[in-house]
Amino acid sequence: MDLINFVRVLLKKKKLLIIIPIIAVVASFILTMNLKNSYKSIAKISAGITDENQITIEGEVDLRPYVVQNKFSNLIELVKSKKVVDLVSYKVMLHDIENTNKFRPFSKLFSELDSSAINYIKDVLNDKYENMQELLNSDEGEKGIIKLIKSMAYDYKSILKKLNVYRIGGSDYIEITFESESAYLSAFIVNAVCNEFIRFYDLSNQIKSDKNVSFFEELANQKKAELDSLVNRLKNFKVNNQVINLYEQTKTLVIQMKDLEVLREKEKKNIPSLEEAINEINSKLGDKTKLYVEADLQPFQKNIIEKRKKLKNIRKQYIASGKYNQAVEDTLRKLKDELSGLIKNTSDALLVDPNVSKKELVSKRLKYQLEKELAEEAVKSYDREISRLRNQVEVYAPLEATNNAYEREISVAAEAYLVLLNKLSFAKFNSVSAGNGIKKMESGQAPDKPLSSKKMLLVIMAGFVSFVLTVVLIFILEYIDLTIKTPHRFLSMAKTNLLGYLSKFEGETINLKEIFSSHEKTGQSEIFTNLLKELRFNLSESLNGSKKLLLTSPGEKEGKTIIGISLAYAMANVGKKVLLVDTNFRNNELTKIFSAKNSLAGFIKDEEDIESAVTKTEIENIDIIGSANGFASPFEIAGSEKFIDKVNQLGNHYDYIFLEGPSFTKYSDSKELMNVADKIVPVFSADSTLVEADKNILRQLESREDQYIGSIINKVRLENIEGAYGEIPKKRGFIRRSVKKLLRRNLASAK
C-alpha cells in the first residue's frame, strides 16, 4: 500500500478518526474529574559504597563499576523488600490508630471494630514492629490484621506502587520518593522507609557479624588445640628417640663418615710402603742374624710394647669420639715422639756392638713394623667407627620420615590456624563497624504544593493514543484486505493484461441513455462515461475485426451483465449493430432485464428462425436472444457443431455478438463457449478477492493467446480511481489540498 492510497483511505474514514479520539477524550476527562492531588516527598541516604576513605582491613576499596552497581542493586532491592515495607506498614497503621490527625480515614472494615479489637491490633503490631516479624496468614487474628491493612491501602503492594528507590547518577546516594494524596503521609512513609531500612540493615549485619565472630572463634580454638596436640606429639617423639635436629644430626654424621674415610684411605696408603720396607730389611738380614739381634733387643721390647699399646688405645678412643680434640691430638703426638725416642735410644745403646749395622736395620724394621701395626689398627678403628656411624644414619632415616610427617601436619595446622585468626580479626572488625556505612543524609519533608496536575496531560494523551491506535487499526485492516480495489493493485496481483475498468455507479439503476445524452453530467456519470468510452476503444482495437466476444467471470455477482449491456450501448452509439446472447443458463439475468423471449434453444434446434428468435430492445442497434434457467450446458442443446454453426450464422447480421457465460470456477459452460467465441474477456469485481483459483483461470486463458485479449475490472470506487484515472474534481479543504500537493511533490521527487 503506497502512501497516497493510505492517505485516501484515512480521509475516507475521517469521521471515524474524529469520533473515536473525541470519545476517548471525553471518557478520560470524566474519569479524571475526581482525581485527587498527589504530593511527593523525597529522602536521601548515603550507601558508603564509593567512599574511598572508609576503614577496611581488606586493602583498597573495590570500586570496579560492576561491583559497585551490584552492591547498589542489592541495597535498593533490600529497601523495597517486604521485610522493610511491612515495618513501614506497621508504623503508619499505629500512627493512624494512636493519633487523631490520621493520614487516611478509617476503612469500613476498620470502623466496624470495637475498642478491644483495636487494642489487640495495637499490641500485635507493636510486638511485630519491635521484633521485626511478619504477620502470618496461618494465624486467624493476624490474618484479619492483614486484611485490615489492605483495606487502608497500607499493605506491601499498595505502598510499593508509589514508592521509588534509585541511585542518583554515579554518586554514593540513594534517593527514596513516595507519592500519595497527603503531603504528611508522603513525608512520613519516606522517613519511615529510611529509618526502618537502616534499622533492619544494621541489626541484620550485627547478627550476621556476631554469628561470624562466634563461628570463627570456635574454629580457631579447635584448630589451636589441634596444633598444640601436634606440637606435643613431635616433642615427645624427639625426647623418646633422643632427637634434637635430625637434619643437623644426620648431616654431622655424614661429615664425620667422610672425614674418617679420608683418614682411613691415608692410613691405607702407608701400609704397602711400610710392608715393602720391612720385606727389604728382612731380605738383608738372615734368619739367624734376625734372631740374634732380636734377642739383644729383648730387654727394650717390653717398654716399646707398652707405649705402643697405650698409643693404640688413645687413638681408638679418639676415632670413636668422632670429634676433634686438641688435647688428645697433643697426647698422641707426644706418645709418638716418646716411642720414636725409645727406639732411637735402643739403637744408640747397640753402637759398641759389632753387629751394630745389622741392629740398625733391625731397629728400622722395628720402627716400620710399629708404624704398620699402628696404621692397620687405625684402619680397623676407622672401619668400625664408619660402620657405627652408618648404622646410626640408617636408624635416623625412618625417624626423619616420621619427623617430617609430624612437622608437615604442624605446618598445615599452623597455616589453617593463621587463616582462621585472619578471618576472626575480619569478623570482629565487621562486628564493630557494622552499619557505619549507611546513613540518612536528608529527611523527607511534607511538600507545600501538590505535583503538577496530570489531568490535562492524560486527556491529551488519551486523544492522541486513540487517534494513533485508530490509524494503526485502519492500516492493519487495509494491509490484510486482499480485495482488488484498484486497477494498479489488480495488475500487481494478477500480472496480466488489463483491457479497462468501470467505476462503481452509486444508485439503484444505471440509465445509460440518460448518462450519454445528458449535457450536464455529474461527477460519477462523467467518469463512468469516459471510462466506458475508453473501454470501447480498447475493445475495438483488441477485437480487430472479430465479432464474437465471450464475457465470463471467475465467480458470481462480478457484474459481467452490466459490463455486457454497457459495452453494447457504447458500440451502438458509434453505429455498430450488437446482438446480446444470454448463454448464462445458470442465471439468465440478461433475459430478465430486457424481458426477452426464451428462444435460444429453439433457434439452435432450428425450431425458430433468426427474426422470430431475436427480441428487439428499446435501444437502437441492440438486439437480444434470451434463454431460460436450466442445468444443461450450451452444447447439450443440440451438440457443439450445431451450436457453433448457428452462432456463426448470427454473425452475418450483426457487427458484434456478446455472449455471457456463467461462473468459470463453478461451471464448465464458459469453457464450452470458449470454442464458440473469437475473443474472451473475464470480468472481475473490485470488491472481490483474487484467490489462487482465479489466478489459475487467468493462466488458462492466457494460454489461449489468440482469444484472450485482457480483463475488465468492474465496480471500482471513485476514491480508488485517481491513481489510474487522474485527479477527480471534488470539494477539498485547504489542508487536504496542501497535504495532497506536498505528498505528490515529495513522492515525485523520490521517484
Highest mean pLDDT among 109-118, 186-195, 267-276, 554-563: 186-195
Q: What confidence score (pLDDT) does residue 351 get?
A: 41
Contact at 8 Å (CB) between 629 and 590? Answer: no
Q: Does the structure show a pLDDT above 90 at 294?
A: no
Confidence of residue 655 (pLDDT cuts 50, 70, 90): very high
Q: Does the structure show a pLDDT above 50 at 227?
A: yes
Lowest mean pLDDT among 40-49, 124-133, 281-290, 388-397: 281-290
Q: Dihedral angle at the C-alpha atoms of 662, 663, 667, 671, nearest 10 degrees? A: 70
Cα–Cα dist 54/72, whole Å:
17
Q: Find all residues with CB under 8 Å of 641, minimum gap 6, and list them.
A: none
Q: What confidence score (pLDDT) does residue 721 get?
A: 78
Contact at 8 Å (CB) between 698 and 496? Answer: yes
Give mean pLDDT, residues 731-738: 56
Crossing angle of helices 487-494/692-703, nearest 10°?
80
pLDDT digits (tens, 9 = 90+) for 122-133: 999 999 999 999
Give mean pLDDT, residues 465-469: 94
Task: Give the CA count within 13 Å in the CB-facing half-sphere of 26.
Answer: 6
| Higher pLDDT pick, 252 / 16 | 16
Cα–Cα dist 525/537, whole Å:
18
Write the DSSP symbol of residue 522: -
Give mean pLDDT, residues 306-335: 64
Cα–Cα dist 685/676, whole Å:
25
Write the DSSP symbol of residue 664: T
Q: What confidence score (pLDDT) does residue 226 get?
A: 87
Q: Find all residues with CB under 8 Å of 396, minimum gap 6, and list them.
A: 243, 246, 249, 250, 253
pTM, rounded to two decimals = 0.49
Lowest mean pLDDT among 99-103, 288-292, 454-458, 577-581: 288-292
Residues 714, 715, 719: CA angle, nearest 5 degrees: 125
The alpha helices in 544-665, defined as continuous H runs, are 560-573, 589-594, 600-604, 610-613, 635-638, 640-650
Residues 489, 494, 496: CA angle, nearest 5 degrees: 110
φ/ψ of residue 436, rounded to 5: -75, -20
Q: What confidence score (pLDDT) does residue 55 get?
A: 47
Cell of 129: 514492629
Burial of 633 (C-beta count, 10 Å sphere; 0-12/13-18/19+)? buried
Write the DSSP symbol of residue 137: T
Cα–Cα dist 728/719, whole Å:
8
pLDDT digits (tens, 9 = 90+) for 33-44: 777 788 999 999
Cell of 190: 519516606
- Residue type at 724? A
How far is residue 519 CA from its own chain's centroid? 74
Average pLDDT, the chain: 81
Cα–Cα dist 584/589, whole Å:
8
How far is residue 12 CA from its own chain's centroid? 46
pLDDT digits (tens, 9 = 90+) for 410-436: 888 888 889 888 888 877 766 665 555
Q: What confidence score (pLDDT) does residue 332 get?
A: 62
The SS3 assignment for 45 reads strand
Task: Give the CA count within 13 Å in the CB-facing half-sphere of 116.
Answer: 1
Contact at 8 Å (CB) between 584 and 552? Answer: no
Cα–Cα dist 706/726, whole Å:
32
Q: Does the structure show a pLDDT above 50 at 349?
A: no
Confidence of residue 325 (pLDDT cuts 50, 70, 90): low
Q: DSSP of 400-451, one letter per residue? A: HHHHHHHHHHHHHHHHHHHHHHHHHHHHHHHHHHTTSS-EEEE-----SSPP
Give mean pLDDT, residues 638-657: 90
The SS3 assignment for 179 reads strand
pLDDT digits (tens, 9 = 90+) for 166-180: 999 888 899 999 999
The alpha helices in 241-325, defined as continuous H runs, are 246-284, 287-296, 298-321
- Residue type at 694? D
Q: What confidence score (pLDDT) does residue 52 get?
A: 58
- Cα R_g (the chain), whole angstroms: 64
pLDDT digits (tens, 9 = 90+) for 353-373: 444 466 567 667 777 777 777
Report the chain's terminal Cα–Cα distance, integer Å: 16
Q: DSSP of 143-172, one letter per residue? A: HHHHHHHHHTT-SHHHHHHHEEEEE-TTSS
Q: Count of residues for the chain?
A: 751
Highest mean pLDDT among 20-24, 269-273, 510-514: 20-24
Contact at 8 Å (CB) between 362 and 285? Answer: yes
The SS3 assignment for 712 reads strand
Confidence of residue 89 (pLDDT cuts 50, 70, 90): very high
